Amino acid sequence: MVTANEAKKFKRKLTGVVVSDKPNKTVVVNVSRKFMHAKYSKFIQQDKKYHAHDENNSAKTGDKVVIIESRPHSKMKKWELLKIL
């Protein structure tokens, strides 16, 4: 069984770019990933947007940020802003 302290070590971290900071205490982060298609051996880029909690409204549009998995803050927000790169 994993203790509470050990569980914190395994939270997922994602790096992306802020595409929107309009909602209060929320940023929308676009995370891109590249992978090779199994059949066609061609690199594909996939984008996904995550809503993250930003307590101090510190991140602005265009900033590169790191977000970390957290408890649900709302229906859409299950990530928190860790730092601005």
Taken in order of first residue, the domains within the chain and their CATH numbers are: 4-84 (2.40.50.140)
pLDDT at 10: 75
pLDDT at 14: 96
pLDDT at 51: 98
- Taking 70 as the pLDDT cut, the residues of the chain under it are 1-9
pLDDT at 4: 54
Residue 67 DSSP code: E
pLDDT at 82: 95
pLDDT at 56: 94
Q: Whole-model pTM?
A: 0.83
